[in-house]
Amino acid sequence: MYDVNKIREDFPILKIKVNGKKLVYFDNAATTQKPIQVINKIKYYYENYNSNIHRGIYKIAETATEKYIESKTKFAKFINAGSIEEIVYMRNTTEAINFVALAFGNEVIKEGDHILISEAEHHSNLLPWLWLAKRKKAHLDYIKLNKEKTGLDIESFKAHLEKEPKITAVFHASNVLGSINDIKYITQLAHKKNSTVLIDGAQSIPNIKIDVKDIGCDFFAASAHKMMGPAGIGILFAKKSVLDNIKPLFGGGEMVKQVNKYSCTLNDLPWRFESGTQNIEGAIGLAGAIDYINKIGINNIRKHEQNLLKYAFDKLNDINNLEVFGGNDEKNKVGIISFAINKVHPHDIAYLFDKEGIAIRAGHHCAMPVVSELSKEHSISRMSFYLYNTIEEVDAAVDAINKIKNKFNIR
């Protein structure tokens, strides 16, 4: 049985008060809170075996190296990758996508080629491709939103595929709409046109079971901090056959087997892409986060989010002058609800929510093209849920909305 109150006990931060009220943390799409199990793993590392990896010939350095590799093994299993050769640790999703655009994109994109993304991408999955297209005098094409603005228009995707894009890069779950793309289908169609496929998994890694073998994508990028791990560590999955043909971007320690004054032999996968001292504590924390998710069960987390969504949509539907973006079909959404209250600026909404102890996000959500499509102010409010949120907290958000409406005399 899913016991949200028991889960909440694992998160020290959920006990704090904000403006005299119990914290309601509804900004999980920005970053998630960390359970004590993850915090303790990192603390234990610092207190018991802090040392550099891959190089020390002494006990604690060997332990650190083992734990770092164990973290990769866990992550590879978590997303069903072939082996740790396909898992490169980076700083975050942003760095992973930029790496692909620079190390892979620079080699394969030529003048006049097409690159395909969508209108609803986070800037992390837009700017690297925009710059690549500009560098190479290539075309950057955008899959349109559907008429209802709840997700992508699959006909627009198919039409763009006819231009045979060399690279297709799309989100798995949108950080603004919350909607989920059928990435297996997208990958299959793109592959038929020989397009290399990158999936931005920043918003799906916390709550959707990922199976990269089943999806078939070439690249999958994600961040540990969105799945209860620490910030500063992200993951690039790349198919071994693709990674084998990519040259490292950075030279430095631990990424070569042998160096002389005039040449070098690269290290094996994935180490050749991890030059310099890595985020060891980050990897250890990420392993803790995977253990935690596995203990609860990722499908249970998804179900819990869907229950919260359904409950929230039922309540929000009854409120006049409130607009919910991205549709209200909880089956096709992660726990994200973007909304607007007629005539109230999103920054005022977030400020007034904060007065009630409720943390939400307001603004352009680093996804300006889609937010501008949805809102004249180029700014919207967003609540985002995770495994520790409760029905009572949704009620508190609904109360906050009604209070704001009263304050602004909105019926």
DSSP 136: H
CA–centroid distance for 353 within its chain: 25
Spatial CA neighbour of 287 closest among 13, 76, 81, 27: 76
- What is the SS3 assignment for 15-41? HCEECCEECEECECCCCCCCCHHHHHH
Q: 239 or 382: whose CB is closer to ligand PLP?
A: 382
Least distance to ligand PLP, CB of residue 335, Å? 13
DSSP 407: H
x/- string (CB under 6 A) for ligand PLP, residues 1-30?
A: ----------------------------x-
Spatial CA neighbour of 246 closest among 72, 87, 102, 83: 102
Q: Is 59 left (phi over 0), alpha (psi -120 to 50) or beta?
A: alpha
Does residue 32 interact with ligand PLP by CB under 6 A?
no
| 170 contacts 186 by C-beta, under 8 angstroms | yes
Stretch 169-188 residues interacting with ligand PLP (CB under 6 A)? 171, 175
- Measured CA distances, 136 to 110, 139, 148, 155 (Å): 6, 9, 34, 27
DSSP 275: -
Least distance to ligand PLP, CB of residue 367, Å? 8
x/- string (CB under 6 A) for ligand PLP, residues 289-328?
A: ----------------------------------------
Stretch 331-390 residues interacting with ligand PLP (CB under 6 A)? none
Q: 27 or 85: whose CB is closer to ligand PLP?
A: 27
x/- string (CB under 6 A) for ligand PLP, residues 210-249?
A: -------------x--------------------------
Residues tagged active-site: 366
**361 beta partners:** 382
Among 71, 98, 124, 328, interactor with ligand PLP by CB under 6 A: 124
| 339 contacts 382 by C-beta, under 8 angstroms | yes
Least distance to ligand PLP, CB of residue 29, Å? 6
Choices 87-95, 136-144, 260-268, 307-315; region in contact with ligand PLP by CB under 6 A: 87-95
Which residues are near ligand PLP by CB under 6 A?
Answer: 29, 92-94, 122, 124-125, 171, 175, 200, 202-203, 223
